[in-house]
């Protein structure tokens, strides 16, 4: 179509490659070190925290161009082209358990997120109330 459009496409290739490299790095974090914390020793006791985590990421890009009708005979080739991209991601982590190592032995103590359970319970109760009301109607 035009040199400029080709240039735009060629220039966007390194950006796409770096985006793909960034996505690749997301999968490199699947190591147990990411889930288990460094041991903390206090006296005879050593504590390790185990957490659950999730991460998600996405990118998108595109470009395009076109040739329009000439406004007058002097304009040789009115063209338009453009490109763009965007991305987003997020991570969440939540402690699941604590591993306590003492001279007497090793024990795993669960960490209970009461707030999360309460929020789920209230949401579920609300949904149940609505479902029961619909059933009665």
Partner 1 sequence: MANFTDFLQLKTVQGTAVQTPHHTLIPESQALIIKFPFGGFVWQRPTAVLVQQGGHSQRLPITDVTRLATWSVLAASLLLPLLLRLIFKQATDAQQETLTAQ
In 3D space, the residue among 88, 84, 66, 77 whose CA is nearest the CA of residue 11 turns out to be 84
Does the CA dihedral 14-15-17-18 come out positive or negative? positive
Q: Does 42 bind partner 1 (CB under 8 A)?
A: no
**Residue 1 in the binding site for partner 1 (CB under 8 A):** no
Residue 12 within binding range of partner 1, rule CB under 8 A: no
Rank residues 53 and 75 by Cβ distance to partner 1 and give the closer one.
53
Q: Which stretch binds partner 1 (CB under 8 A): 2-10, 67-75, 76-84, 108-116?
A: 108-116
Least distance (Å) from partner 1 to the CB of residue 4?
A: 26
Residue 5: count of CB within 10 angstroms of its CB: 19
- Lookup result for tokens 């000439």: 70
Q: Which two tokens stand for residue 107?
A: 């024990």
Beta bridge pairs of residue 105: 102
Q: Which of 1, 4, 40, 60 binds partner 1 (CB under 8 A)?
A: 60
Beta-bridged to residue 66, according to DSSP, are: 80
Q: Does 58 bind partner 1 (CB under 8 A)?
A: yes
Q: What is the 3-state secondary structure (H, E, C) of 16-44?
A: HHHHHHHHHHHHHCCCHHHHECCCEEECC
Determine if 40 is a binding residue for partner 1 (CB under 8 A). Answer: no
* Binding site residues, partner 1, CB under 8 A: 19, 23, 26-27, 29-36, 39, 41, 46, 48, 50-60, 94, 96-97, 99, 101, 103, 106-108, 110-113, 116-117, 120-121, 124-125, 127-128, 131-132, 135
């Amino acid at each position: 179509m035009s040199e400029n459009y080709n240039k735009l496409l060629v220039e966007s290739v390194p950006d796409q490659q770096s985006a793909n490299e960034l996505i690749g790095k997301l999968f490199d974090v699947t190591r147990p070190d990411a889930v288990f914390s460094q041991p903390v020793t206090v006296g005879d006791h050593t504590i390790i925290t185990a957490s659950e985590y999730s991460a998600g990421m996405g990118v998108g890009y595109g470009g395009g161009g076109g040739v329009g009708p000439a406004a007058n005979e002097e304009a040789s080739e009115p063209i338009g082209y453009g490109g763009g991209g965007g991305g987003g991601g997020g991570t969440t982590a939540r402690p699941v358990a604590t591993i306590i190592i003492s001279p007497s032995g090793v024990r795993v103590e669960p960490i209970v997120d009461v707030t999360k359970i309460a929020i789920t319970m209230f949401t579920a109760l609300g949904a149940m109330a609505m479902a029961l009301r619909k059933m009665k109607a």
